[in-house]
């Protein structure tokens, strides 16, 4: 009798488990293209392919956010903590999250329980420049696709975590890695395509943007970012990028850098991919006189064939490692199809995204030295005295004149994505106020070796803070408000129709501030530094907010004097999800 009773209970439990298990539907191109407008899921990096990181949800708002509480948390586990720079994705009750050391988890969004984990087997000798991070995956069909530190793309079955396909992008021993979230966009010729860039700019790799068939990872086109290199289309050489030796004299273009390590955004309205391009290699600009296109630039690419529609160069003949990779965010500016980007070089740019025409540039950090201004033609006005000197002109030929440059090479803003609010019409930019002593040294290219030809020490501009979240009006370039933070900001931002802006700090707090004023309305200590990007979505009528916490990234590795001041921040690796207590949410 007892046994029978147990059996009956067990089968009821089994039935209810089956009923409760989320029904996981395939992710369609419609889901991807509509992501920004569908608050019930987050299926793209950037919360929409245009990268606005804006949610129309307002259940959580200025009036009640102070009551936000944790719903659940999950540890990424193991000893492999380090920097967690990911943005989670959510669909049908499951969260998909990438993490340090090329790992991925599927998590039940109601309970925080793990559904599966995938730990990519990494070989000895990977060469990530800036911590073992991953910045997120892409969903399509029954697949989650992401890049690994050994320069592979891996497609996993979202139901099981099993590998469906895996492709090597390039040789990790030459310095290639994959850390950015891939982008999935439609193409008439090839169907859904997966678009990715490459990391490795400090090793003299040649940057490129590539498109593959989502179904099997087969390459359909490739577009090198550096002038003189030839692209590929449908298995054959296509066109040359630019004109050989036009802005790169000599042979250095052959190892010219221009990594596309942060991935890109996609604008369905103009059917263009927007990718940022990193620094030219080596750092010593005296070895490569000329503009060095398209290093330190934004390029618009036609997804059908990989051709460059337009390019805009933020730092021609860069001598400061001002990678031009930062995200291009499409938005409407009083009827103009505009795009904004906050550059490493400390200027906030607005372009006409239909043709790349320069509209404006305004400084968003203080005391910039490398340029006097940005001219009406969109080119920086240089002060030659503020460019690090030529080592061959020094007495012993070993060290060029050192200069103090602002921003530091870690940038007025680095990889961490900004947000745009469709209500306030402001951009929320996670910025940092710091400079560097910088000098050039002789260097020769060696495959797989660091290719800088420079030395540096980073220093804070102010005593009391480095980080600064700024609200910028793209129409005027004016800074509407600023909230400072002691440690450098290194995580993404989220804006909501609830009049809120969410962002995390290395000190460990996820914060919500008033989107109109910057006034802090809520903060929660997650126990480790936040360098990931928060998301929000709706489930069963409730609004939830999630962020991954886990200190790391480039600052502790490269921060010089700054790194010393933040050396005791605790490591971690927990994804946190917050919601309103039901009674309060109903008020």
Of 199 and 526, the one with the shorter C-beta distance to Ca ion is 199
Contact flag: residue 41 with Ca ion (CB under 5 A): yes
Catalytic residue chosen out of the listed positions 41, 321, 323, 343: 321
| Beta bridge partners of residue 493, listed in sequence order | 503
| Beta bridge partners of residue 144, listed in sequence order | 139, 156
Of 220 and 535, the one with the shorter C-beta distance to Ca ion is 535
- In the three-class reduction of DSSP (H, G, I as helix; E, B as strand; rest coil), residue 374 is classed as strand
Of 132 and 281, the one with the shorter C-beta distance to Ca ion is 281
Distances from the Cα of 127 to the Cα of 134, 150, 209, 256, angstroms: 14, 8, 20, 18
321 counts as catalytic: yes
Min CB(69)–Ca ion separation in Å: 24
Eight-state DSSP code of residue 179: -
Q: Can you say whether residue 541 is alpha, beta or left, with left for phi > 0 and alpha for psi between -120 and 50 degrees?
A: left
Eight-state DSSP code of residue 258: -
- In the three-class reduction of DSSP (H, G, I as helix; E, B as strand; rest coil), residue 173 is classed as helix
Q: 251, 445 in Cβ contact below 8 A?
A: no
Give the dihedral sign, CA 563/568/572/574: negative
Binding mask of the shown chain, residues 242 to 281, with x at each position contacting Ca ion by CB under 5 A: ------------------------------------xx--
**Residues 6+ positions from 177 with CB-CB distance below 8 Å:** 126, 127, 128, 129, 147, 148, 149, 150, 151, 198, 199, 200, 261
Q: 34, 91 in Cβ contact below 8 A?
A: no
Of 263 and 573, the one with the shorter C-beta distance to Ca ion is 263
Which residues between 344 and 403 bind Ca ion (CB under 5 A)? none
Min CB(38)–Ca ion separation in Å: 4
Min CB(39)–Ca ion separation in Å: 6
Min CB(41)–Ca ion separation in Å: 4
Of 323 and 327, the one with the shorter C-beta distance to Ca ion is 323
Of 74 and 454, the one with the shorter C-beta distance to Ca ion is 454
Secondary structure, 3-state, 86-143: CCCEEECCEEEEEEHHHEEEEEECCCCCEEEEEECCCCCCCCCCCCCCCCCCEEEECE
State both tokens at 219: 């390459």
Among 28, 38, 422, 565, binds Ca ion (CB under 5 A): 38
Min CB(35)–Ca ion separation in Å: 4
Burial class (CB in 10 A: 0-12, 13-18, 19+), 384: exposed
Of 39 and 112, the one with the shorter C-beta distance to Ca ion is 39
Contact flag: residue 321 with Ca ion (CB under 5 A): yes
Min CB(578)–Ca ion separation in Å: 18
Residue number of the CB atom closest to Ca ion: 38
Which residues between 511 and 570 bind Ca ion (CB under 5 A)? none
Min CB(40)–Ca ion separation in Å: 7
Min CB(130)–Ca ion separation in Å: 9
Q: 425, 471 in Cβ contact below 8 A?
A: no
Contact flag: residue 453 with Ca ion (CB under 5 A): no
Of 38 and 166, the one with the shorter C-beta distance to Ca ion is 38
Eight-state DSSP code of residue 150: T
Contact flag: residue 35 with Ca ion (CB under 5 A): yes
Contact flag: residue 323 with Ca ion (CB under 5 A): yes
- Report the C-alpha gap between 331 and 103 in whole angstroms: 33
Binding mask of the shown chain, residues 192 to 231, with x at each position contacting Ca ion by CB under 5 A: ---------x------------------------------
Residue among 401, 414, 373, 380 at smallest CA distance from 284? 401
How far is the first Cα of the chain from the last one, in angstroms, to the nearest whole number? 50
Query: Which position has the token pair 């690090």?
Result: 388
Task: Name the strand (E) or helix (H) holding 315.
Answer: none
Q: With CB under 5 A as the contact rule, which of the stretches 31-39, 78-86, 215-223, 448-456 interacts with Ca ion?
A: 31-39
Name the pairing type of β-strands 183-185 and 208-213. Answer: unpaired
State both tokens at 352: 């006409």
Q: With CB under 5 A as the contact rule, which of the stretches 41-49, 206-214, 473-481, 545-553 interacts with Ca ion?
A: 41-49
Min CB(66)–Ca ion separation in Å: 26
Of 37 and 188, the one with the shorter C-beta distance to Ca ion is 37
Active site residue ranges = 321
Q: Give residues in contact with Ca ion (CB under 5 A).
A: 35, 38, 41, 201, 278-279, 321, 323
């Amino acid at each position: 009798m007892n046994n029978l009773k147990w059996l009956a209970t067990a089968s009821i439990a089994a039935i209810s488990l089956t009923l409760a298990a989320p029904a996981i539907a395939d992710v369609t191109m419609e889901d991807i293209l509509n992501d920004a407008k569908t608050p019930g899921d987050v299926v793209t990096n950037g919360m929409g392919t245009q990268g606005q990181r804006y949610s129309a949800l307002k259940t959580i708002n200025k009036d009640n956010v102070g009551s936000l509480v944790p719903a659940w948390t999950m540890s990424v586990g193991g000893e492999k903590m380090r920097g967690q720079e990911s943005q989670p994705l959510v669909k049908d009750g499951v969260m998909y999250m990438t993490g340090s050391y090329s790992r991925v988890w599927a998590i039940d969004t109601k309970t925080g329980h793990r559904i599966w984990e995938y730990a990519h087997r990494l070989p000895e000798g990977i060469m990530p420049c800036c911590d073992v991070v991953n910045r997120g995956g892409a969903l399509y069909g029954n697949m989650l696709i992401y890049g690994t530190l050994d320069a592979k793309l891996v497609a996993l079955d979202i139901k099981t975590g099993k590998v469906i396909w895996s492709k090597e992008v390039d040789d990790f021993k030459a310095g290639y890695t994959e850390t950015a979230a891939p982008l999935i966009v439609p193409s008439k010729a090839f169907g859904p395509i997966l678009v990715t860039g490459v990391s490795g700019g400090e090793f003299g790799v040649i940057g490129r943007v590539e498109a593959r068939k989502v179904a099997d990872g087969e390459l359909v086109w490739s577009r090198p970012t550096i002038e003189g290199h030839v692209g590929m289309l449908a298995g054959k050489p296509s066109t040359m990028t630019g004109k050989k030796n036009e802005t790169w004299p000599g042979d250095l273009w052959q190892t010219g850098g221009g990594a596309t390590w942060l991935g890109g955004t996609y604008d369905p309205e103009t059917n263009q991919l927007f990718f940022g391009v990193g620094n030219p290699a080596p750092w010593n600009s005296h070895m490569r006189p000329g503009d060095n296109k398209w290093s330190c630039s934004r390029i618009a690419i036609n997804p059908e064939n990989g051709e460059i529609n337009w390019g805009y160069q933020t730092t021609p003949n860069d001598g400061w490692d001002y990678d031009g990779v930062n995200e291009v965010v499409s938005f409407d500016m009083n009827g103009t199809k505009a795009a904004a980007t906050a550059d490493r070089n400390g200027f906030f740019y607005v372009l006409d995204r239909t043709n790349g025409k320069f509209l404006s540039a305004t400084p968003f950090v203080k005391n910039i030295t490398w340029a006097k201004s940005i001219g009406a033609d969109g080119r920086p006005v240089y002060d030659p005295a503020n460019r690090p000197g030529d080592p061959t002109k020094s007495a012993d030929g070993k060290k060029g004149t050192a200069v103090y440059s602002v921003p530091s090479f870690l940038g007025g803003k680095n990889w961490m994505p900004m947000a745009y609010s469709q209500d306030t019409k402001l951009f929320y930019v996670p910025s940092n106020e710091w400079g560097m002593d910088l000098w050039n040294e002789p260097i020769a290219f060696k495959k797989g070796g660091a290719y800088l030809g420079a030395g540096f020490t980073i220093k804070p501009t102010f005593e009391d803070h480095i980080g600064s979240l700024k609200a910028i009006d793209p129409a005027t370039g004016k800074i509407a408000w600023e909230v400072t933070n002691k440690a450098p900001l290194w995580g993404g931002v989220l804006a909501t129709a609830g009049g809120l802006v969410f962002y995390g700090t290395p000190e460990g707090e996820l914060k919500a501030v008033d989107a109109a004023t910057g006034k802090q309305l809520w903060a929660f200590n997650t126990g480790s530094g936040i360098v990931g990007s928060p998301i929000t979505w709706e489930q069963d009528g409730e609004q939830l907010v999630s962020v991954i916490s886990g200190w790391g990234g480039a600052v502790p590795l490269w921060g010089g004097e700054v790194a010393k001041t933040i050396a005791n921040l605790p490591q971690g690796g927990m994804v946190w999800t917050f919601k309103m207590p039901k009674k309060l949410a109903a008020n």
